[in-house]
A and B are shown apart, each in its own frame.
Chain A
Amino acid sequence: MRQFLMLYKAQLSAMFWSGNKKTAKKGKSLRPRSMAGQALLWVFVMALMGVYEFIFMSLLAAESQGDTAALASFPALVAFASMLLTVITTVSYAKTLLYEAKDYELLFSLPISGGVIVAAKIATLYTLDLIFSLAMMLPCGVFYGLFAAPSVTFYLFYFLLILFVPLIPILVACVVSALFSLIASRFRRTQMITIVLYAIFLCGVMSISFTMSSTTEEGLIGEMFMGALASVTAWYPPLAWFYEATVSGSALWALLFVGVSLACFALVALVIGKFYGRFQEIFRPRAVRRKYKAAEKSSGVMVALMKKDWKRLCSSAGIFMNQLVGLLMLVFFAVIFGVTDLAGGEEEAAEIMGVLFPFIFAMAASMVMDTSTSISLEGKTFPLIKSLPISPKTYLNSKIMLHMTLCAPVITLCGIGVSIAKGLSVVNLIACVVIPLCYAYSSGVIGLLINLKKYKFDWTSELMVAKNSLPVMLATFGGMILSLVPMGIAIALCGSGFPVSAVLIFFMALAVTVAVLMGVILNALGENLFMKIEY
């Protein structure tokens, strides 16, 4: 236990503390990674979740008029959403943290068993995911208390069980990740196969959750929620235990939920720990004796840098999926919007949907986070970049170029595809392309600038910089806010009688202006920030 706690503490310190060892040696002490900033950010995320949850809870309360069953389904569904997001965000990283961490040799040389190492690493993952679960579930519990006035046992079990909610999803993610890695290791193009498997898995999870949440097509919101809960619990029984424990106040169900979660944790840590060394052997890069292929032609500096960053992105399925999940979401939304009749055949609703599409695509586009981590991911190779004859401007522009090379084709195809499928106007079609493109560019620049300011080179796993890091969080939630707020304003304007085309043209002009401004800011600040980095 002592070893576990020490290792867990060390892993957490590496994850949450900033500064780089080399800088620290030269007089700069390691300090908590903008702890106040991080805390503020999480408070903001919690507030954002709270707003959504309050809206749903108000609607449910108004509709149910004393029927607590419908209201009670909501906290359980929020718990499910939290579990789902935990699986989605953790599956691609479990491999990086567990099986490919750079500290493997150091840890394995110590007199610590594989089980303890794995337990400490999974506990680190758990801590990261718990923060997210708390942000989602705490406001929900408070609002449920306000609207349903439940007994004291609800508060007791609800707030206690939140601590155990991420456990099973994390373990599912660890097992799925190991399975995918084992399958992919049998192929020559291991990383590509892993990426494809993750993409299929994520699309599958998103499709199943979408299907489950839309089992009741029409009717009251309460009925829809209860229907969704019934189908979800059929797939995932622990959610039913959670529901029973919180709503009925049954200690037995609470014990079952906690017991199964902890037993799964112990079992997975034990099994993975037993084969930890073997996993490391399988997943590590292996030397191949084959003739190399000489270059047929040389590339320019910009292309060479873009190729390098593209290879970096493809080198880890975790990085690839996390950084480009926005593009996957964009394609997913485009398919859903293209093939389903969300407006129910009503012309007015179809018009509103036409206003929504550009902003929803923009939200997904701003979740493409490759630039938010691209400086930190240089890691210990950063001095190499600084020693090469590359101007900071070229270096930074190459990152934005790669970002746009990835985003632009997907945005254009999805925007045009949905516009044609839905028979939208030309202005609407242009908005579906221009607004997300501008968002992609602006968020790319913002992510890069934040990472230039808040970089971390001394990482032992990419997870430390790519998951829950400040630049990534700011890019994700900043993008979400900056797309949802204009979306709300646009709908309000259209509802007040402004022509849809005029509203879309206004927001297109605004998005283009912001994008141009971002380009100017990058030119003005980027080089200086780059030069200030000492490592």
Chain B
Amino acid sequence: MLRFCDFSKTYKGGKRAVDGLSLHVEAGDIYGFIGHNGAGKTTSLKAACGILDFTEGNIYIGGISVKDDPLATKKMTAYIPDNPDLYEFMTGIAYLNFIGDIYGVPASERNELIRHYATMFEIEGDLASQIGSYSHGMKQKLAIISALIHKPKLLVLDEPFVGLDPKAAHLLKQVFAELCESGAAIFFSTHVLEVAQKLCNKIAIIKGGRLVVSGKTDEIVGDSSLEEVFLELADVEGGDA
């Protein structure tokens, strides 16, 4: 579903944020992307979603190159950033309808999905309010609903559990599982290693823009914990945080 092929990204100032990343997220995967602050996680996620331009390597979604046909790949993808900067001047429902219109979701289908997810995440009563009045967690919930209403084949999330209350975090995990059962893939970055270990069938650890390890969670973690593995890899490489 999502394939990074020797992907590298160098910013205008010369900083090489990601260096030769190769990774394959298959349909049905819940793929955790772990790394220190500034390791290159967000850059990789943004490039996959067509937000950041890149010249080296390639990224494919559903077999289509993000570079060659970004519109086609974006139609299959939903992206939730770490900090949900949404249109604060819109009401929650206006924002969801905007996203629905952009993805061409028919009104009846959209309304049903909005009702379903808004009830699930308990923000149905807030959809008539301006997003500017929402808390961080409510914005996060709205961003999640907006990502789900067009039934993406690939869900890319940057720190999705930050700001969510325990119930919403639990619900999100359920949604992840449902999506994967339906054949979608989930690729997300996180610092919460316990969540990654329990939730993801595959993980990748990135450090200083380079992939340190990737594969099935069970095989990487073995008998220890992901936290131990992560810290051990960081020490072995001798990198900074």
Taking Cβ atoms with an 8 Å cutoff, the residues of A that contact B are: 23, 26-28, 284-301, 303-305, 307-308, 311-312, 314-316, 379-381, 383-384, 386-391, 531-532, 534
Contact = CB atoms under 8 A, between A and B. Distances in A.
29 contacts: A26-B11, A26-B12, A26-B13, A28-B11, A28-B12, A285-B129, A285-B132, A286-B133, A287-B129, A287-B134, A292-B91, A292-B127, A293-B93, A298-B101, A299-B101, A304-B101, A304-B102, A311-B89, A312-B89, A314-B89, A380-B85, A381-B87, A383-B51, A383-B81, A386-B50, A386-B51, A387-B74, A388-B102, A389-B102
Interface size class of B (residues with CB under 8 A): 35 or more
A295 B133 contact: no
A72 B127 CA distance: 61
A534 B129 CA distance: 31
A298 B107 contact: yes
B98 A308 contact: yes
Given A286-B133, A386-B51, A534-B11, A294 B46 contact: no
A387 B51 contact: yes
A205 B88 CA distance: 32
B213 interface: no
Given A388-B99, A390-B71, A534-B52, 4 more contacts: A285-B130, A288-B129, A308-B98, A534-B53
Contact of B94 (A286, A311, A534): A311
A456 to B, nearest CB: 15
A311 B90 contact: yes
Interface of B: 11-15, 17, 46, 49-53, 71-72, 74-75, 77, 79, 81, 83, 85-94, 97-107, 110-111, 114-115, 124-130, 132-134
A307 B98 contact: yes
A307 B92 CA distance: 15
Given A391-B71, A534-B12, A308 B90 contact: yes
B53 A531 contact: yes
A295 B97 contact: yes
Contacts of B103: 388-389
A391 to B, nearest CB: 6
B187 to A, nearest CB: 14
Contacts of B89: 311-312, 314-316
B102 A381 contact: no
Given A389-B74, A391-B71, A27 B11 contact: yes
A295 B107 contact: yes
A287 B92 CA distance: 11
Contacts of A388: 74, 99, 102-103
A292 B50 contact: no
A312 B104 contact: no
